[in-house]
Amino acid sequence: MTLALTRRASLLGLATIAAAGRARVALAAAPTDQRFVVVLLRGALDGMAAVVPYGDANLIRLRAPLVPDQAQLLDLGGFFAFHPALKNLHALYRANQVLPVHAIAGSYRTRSHFEAQDYLQTGIDHAGITSGWLNRLVGELPAGGVAGRGLAVGMGVPLLLRGSTRIASYAPAGFAKPSPDLYAQIAALNRPDPVFGPAIADGLRAARFDHAALAIPDDTTGTLKGDAADEATPAHGYGFPALAHAAGRLLASTGGPRIAAFQLEGWDTHANQMNLLHAPLADLDTGIASLRTALGPAWASTTVLVITEFGRTARINGTHGTDHGTATVALLAGGNVAGGKVRANWPGLASTQLFENRDLAPTADIRSLAKGVIQAQFGLDEASLARIFPDSTAAQAMAGLLRV
């Protein structure tokens, strides 16, 4: 489906593209004070490395070189433990604000990254739908003054947020920022056009909201707006932690967006997994902590859902990595999450318990998790859930995910 044009899509899409390292984020407005953030991990996170089932006696037999010393693990109640890099998430877990959901997978059984990401983001495991389920969620929310506007930050818009709900673009300060003269030239060039002219002019005016919310330089005056000018340019560039902080400030703002979707790369660990996985896990951990800080009091009405296209093989391969698998782990975080425990119908790691004798067997459906979150967060009925996730009657919404 063609992406609908908005005022800010015209302005910022023509003016600049934000290349945020290996992290991207999109945001959408919605007539609600509830915030919902989806973090897509592209490349297939090894769920048993992030949330280690050290209490399963078969774990060491399958992958001893990939399991940290138990003294380094961050315990989650006696059977599971967080990877040592997830210190902030562990603290939130102890505050009952993180809920890992283990042995989970989509309804599909492909091991192709491309197919699985399409299915994960459209919410349906066959062709025929080109919109993302998060875009359809925004369309199901009650009509309001800001409904139907979206904001994408980074390179492009993820499939998750594409669809009939209009999505615009935002480029963080410092990313190929055009000069005021270029903005003026673009506006003058497009002024006669009945579509682009008003969209660009409106976008130039609307940009001031984002600049004030983020305390970044105004394009026409060069001065800083907002209360925290020292945060205008993150010290470490625009990886996930810095983008999460910027997005959090927008989400927290009065009249700002309420829906966000991040895409994080770097999870395809076919070789040297023990060394390669620590950095992206630490980045994820720091980013969620940064998002929480930026949201401030709005964290209490925020739910973060972290999902990946599939898991990885239970057994270690010949290059000290893992290959494409099936079940993995998903994470919920937020001030209203009923956390402090691990939710799992654990299938076990004995050879006879593995899926196709190679993978952690799935016992939960990602659609059930997503349905349960958005039903509790936004109060949507079964008919709305069916439109967001077509052909999903077998995936009933999980209960008890959020505190009422």
DSSP letter string, 227-263: S-GGGSS-TT-SSHHHHHHHHHHHHHSTT---EEEEE
Q: For residue 199, give the nearest of 209, 189, 210 by alpha carbon.
A: 189
304 versus 1: the higher-pLDDT residue is 304
Which pLDDT band, with edges at 50, 70 and 90, does 95 fall under? Answer: very high
Q: Decide if 214 contacts 250 (C-beta within 8 A).
A: yes
Greater model confidence, 297 or 165: 297
- Kindly report the pTM of this predicted structure: 0.81
What number is the average pLDDT over the span 289-312?
A: 97
Q: Is the model's pLDDT at 45 over the cut of 60?
A: yes
Within 8 A by CB and 6+ apart from 132, the residues are 121, 122, 123, 158, 159, 160, 161, 162, 163
pLDDT at position 343 over 80: yes
Query: How many C-beta atoms surround the C-beta of residue 353 within 10 A?
Result: 15
SS3 content of the chain, % helix, strand, coil (to 5): 35, 15, 50
Name the band, by pLDDT with cuts 50, 70 and 90, for residue 26.
confident
| Per-residue pLDDT at 64 exceeds 90 | yes
Q: What is the pLDDT of residue 141?
A: 84
Q: What angle do CA 80, 85, 88 make, to 5 degrees?
A: 85
Q: Which residue has the tokens 């919920």?
A: 332
Strands 51-52 and 98-105: unpaired
Strand (E) positions, 74-188?
74-75, 81-82, 98-105, 150-153, 168-170
Per-residue burial over 317-348, b if 16 or more Cβ lie within 10 Å, else e, is: eeebbbbbbbbbbbbbbbbbbbbeebbbebbe
> Tens digits of per-residue pLDDT, 309-330?
999 999 999 999 999 999 999 9
pLDDT per position as a tens digit, 209-245 = 444 444 444 443 333 233 332 333 343 345 889 889 9
Of 241-250, 274-283, 334-343, 379-388, which range is least confident? 241-250
